[in-house]
Amino acid sequence: MQRNMPLCGANPVRNTLILGKGTAKNRMEQEKKLARMKELVSLLGEAGKAYYQESRELMSNLEYDRLYDELLALERETGIVLGGSPTVQVGYEILSELPKEAHESPMLSLDKTKEPGALAQWLGEKEGLLSWKLDGLTIVLTYREGRLYKAVTRGNGEVGEVITNNARVFVNVPGVIPYGGELVLRGEAVIRYSDFYKINEEIGDADAKYKNPRNLCSGSVRQLNNEITAKRSVRFFAFALVKAEGVDFENSRERELAWLSGQGFDVVEFKRVNRETVAAAVEEFAKAVPDNDFPSDGLVLLFDDIAYGRSLGRTAKFPRDSIAFKWADEVQATRLSYIEWSASRTGLINPVAVFEPVELEGTTVSRASVHNVSIVEELALGEGDEITVYKANMIIPQIAENLTRSGSARIPEACPVCGGLTKIREENEVKTLYCTNPECPAKKIKGFSLFVSRDAMNIDGLSEATLEKFVDAGFVRKFADLFHLERYREQILSMEGFGEKSYENLLASLKRARDTTMARLLYGFGIPGIGLANAKVLCKAFGYDFERLRHGTREEFEEIEGIGPVIADSLFTYFQSEKNNAEVDRMLELVTFHDEMPSADEQVLGGKIFVITGSVEHFANRNEAKALIESLGGRVTGSVTARTDYLINNDSMSNSSKNKKAKELGIPILTEEEFLDMIKQE
């Protein structure tokens, strides 16, 4: 979803307010407007950072757009655009360890409107192409000599992340095409709703489920391990051709898209329109939304005439040859019945608004997530309030506005599940509610639910409802208790829903689960921040030795590619607990690991730590070199430390910071050829 896209861009000016000789009243009014602008820039900046970098929401899309439009109007009135304003910034800095690369030309956001009539006016006498505005991650693909050469994300519009290896495993990106010249195209990587629901169904823990296809797609595309990407069914839809040397498209964008289709690319669905037909085309797209398997957040209108579009140029933020159309959300008024507080495995207690049922976009809705305490307070919610609700992108129910703003909602001081004390935590100016009771049944039940899930111990026959019965009956207090349920045979057989057959099937499933992998068990413990992918990376880094891993230091964890300080601290803290280690000991006595250990002959770089810098010649990219090192038992980290064994740099005489650090520490600097010779000799 591109949020920062007004209909008309403001011209950037110096962040300086010069008051003229107007009246005191005018000056006060100007100062008031400037103060409000500063407030809006701060609010929108925090919301944008949370949305794009941290995959969380501080406010609804409707609220963001309202505040954004207010800021834009104030900028037009005052002629001032403050530094940091989202109306002149395109995206945010990247927080990834993927290689970075600058785009040849900036990837701008689009101007926007919610009025079909504005589209007709924008087209004038020209014809255009109206297409879906897909809600995923924008990617630039480059082909050379008929093969995929490079894939880069949009990033912040100026600099993107290189994800070539991941793009190669997208479901529908061709690896080889007929055209042999240099081809550059742009498109959207997306995950279908059907695939999104399927992936979420396989995650037993409700807290670990993905919020929406866009978040899942963003994480999947930017993985450091493309094996994970390959399992996520990512698809790519081309929407623009940037360069294709030597091909005459007769000045038509439609012909460009048709040509791309002929090269094997899936092209975004579009309709050719003029000012008389564009409104009807918008209506056709709108009718298709409920049955559309791909997430979209509107439409894009582009001039078909290439030369005319280019002649219009661009503003500081927007190209003038295209415009976005966002759906005018159907908003209905209703009455808030109450706020339901739902406890999770991590102790987080989430607010959900329950209201009198209303019809929205053809379905009846009565619930909407409010996300956190800050939004409850921002909306000033209270039982009986008159509220308006809508579906974000015509899919997800949200509260648009609270008309009465009673502010009477009470933040529960006791957990709705266990009655234990709650506590409000504030991080990055966002308030969330937690249960402080470590023995809260909600934590236990959802923790057990994760433990038995398909990606963890894969135990069939233990739904959350069944686990709740076993916990309430006292059969299960620890993970290991699940493997001793035969002690309660008679009691289980007397429970509703259990017969001899289902009981025997459960025991058989528990027996099978005892033969597992180290990564599944580690993931099953529910350590905050440790997903299955991270668990696999950790197990491999520690040679599939659980004792080595549980006694690892924060520094050792952080040196592992993809494991940052937050996850490292979470892992280290978990294994500092005697209680947790006792739980681990009990499980290690019960399970057998069947991880495929590489042979000693294959692990010629076992225990060696490498850093790779600079350009590479013998590999497609540094990730390919990294993959080779890891396949031979070595590890690749991002910075040179005293623990580094080798720095690989073809320019061994450069004055780069990594070269200087390696020389200070006496660490050998190898060229690629020297590295390849070394592994041959090994």
3-state secondary structure of 105: coil
Q: Residue 102: phi, psi to the nearest 5?
A: -75, 140
User: How many angstroms separate the CA atoms of 218 and 234, rounded?
Assistant: 10
Q: How many CA atoms lie within 13 A of 215 on its CB side?
A: 14
Looking at residue 321, what DSSP letter applies?
S
596 Cβ contact partners less than 8 Å away, ≥ 6 residues apart: none
DSSP letter string, 419-481: --BEEEEEETTEEEEEE--TT-HHHHHHHHHHHTSTTTT--TT--HHHHHHHHHHTS-SSGGG
Q: Residue 473: phi, psi to the nearest 5?
A: -80, -10
User: How many angstroms separate the CA atoms of 301 and 324, rounded?
Assistant: 6
644 Cβ contact partners less than 8 Å away, ≥ 6 residues apart: 609, 610, 611, 637, 662, 665, 667
Contact assessment for residue 123 and residue 84, using Cβ atoms and an 8 Å cutoff: no
Contact assessment for residue 614 and residue 650, using Cβ atoms and an 8 Å cutoff: yes
The secondary element (H helix, E strand) that includes residue 661 is: helix 657-665
Q: Is 443 a catalytic residue?
A: no
User: How many angstroms separate the CA atoms of 57 and 579, rounded?
Assistant: 35
User: How many angstroms separate the CA atoms of 266 and 584, rounded?
Assistant: 48
User: How many angstroms separate the CA atoms of 88 and 156, rounded?
Assistant: 12
Looking at residue 486, what DSSP letter applies?
G
286 sits in the region (left: phi over 0; alpha: psi -120 to 50; else beta) called alpha
Helices marked H in 222-297 — which ranges?
226-230, 253-262, 278-288
Looking at residue 412, what DSSP letter applies?
P
Catalytic residue among 133, 469, 536, 658: 133
Contact assessment for residue 592 and residue 514, using Cβ atoms and an 8 Å cutoff: yes
User: How many angstroms separate the CA atoms of 53 and 161, rounded?
Assistant: 13
Cross-strand pairs, 363: 360
The strand pair at 128-134 and 137-144 is best described as unpaired
Helix axes 464-473 and 441-451, enclosed angle (nearest 10): 130
User: How many angstroms separate the CA atoms of 524 and 577, rounded?
Assistant: 17
Characterize 311-330 residue by residue with b for buried, 16 or more Cβ atoms within 10 angstroms of its Cβ, and e for exposed: eeeebebbbbbbbbbbbebe
User: How many angstroms separate the CA atoms of 354 and 351, rounded?
Assistant: 10
Helices marked H in 300-413 — which ranges?
306-311, 373-378
User: How many angstroms separate the CA atoms of 681 and 163, rounded?
Assistant: 32
Contact assessment for residue 154 and residue 148, using Cβ atoms and an 8 Å cutoff: no
Which residues participate in catalysis according to the annotation?
133
